[in-house]
A = this chain, B = another copy of it.
Amino acid sequence: MAPMAAPDASKRDAILDAALALFAERGFHGTAVPLVAEKAKVGAGTLYRYFASKEALANALFQRSKIAFSSAVLKDVDPGCSLREMFRKTWRNMLAFHKLQPLVLAFLELHHHRSYLDQQSLLVEQRALGPIRDLLAAAQKSGVLKPIGPEVCMALVFGAFVGLLRAAHEGFLSLTPKVIDDTEAALWEAISA
């Protein structure tokens, strides 16, 4: 009944990609399903062969996006490096991801997902943030970071990141290499002990 299995993965991806672009731009409630289908170049009914409902589509997209971003954040971050170096790499990863896939972050961070996220998606979100949280917790214990709690630290850094994206998105500033380096340095001062 619930066709979560994918007979044609490329079509499934096309639908997810179309949904990403539209949800990022207009939000979940502001996007009509036939519009997603049209952008994915499939019939409206076809979409329902891959996702049981509009909500199921949004959840699948949310999970794919969360995993993609959180994987990218810690990519090539060498645990042997100093925390200073790891933070620099992490920050650059985040901005590189934004450059490569701006829609993923626009979808994840510019919108409020509460009204349709299911348990599974919340779980995925928790798991995705786990490694980052753990890293911060260890760094705070070691005394390199301020003892303000890993959640607070994440909220500050990630909030600032989203703030920059949003400002860039709305044309208030441009994410030049200088801005990236400046903000990275500033945030390191904010969180380092």
Contact = CB atoms under 8 A, between A and B. Distances in A.
Chain A residues touching B, majority SS: helix
Contacts of A149: 173, 179
B156 A183 contact: yes
B26 A27 contact: no
Contacts of A155: 160, 163-164, 166-167, 172-173
Contacts of A187: 156, 190
Interface in A144-167: 146, 148-149, 151-152, 154-164, 166-167
B190 A148 contact: no
Nearest to A158: B163
A187 B160 CA distance: 10
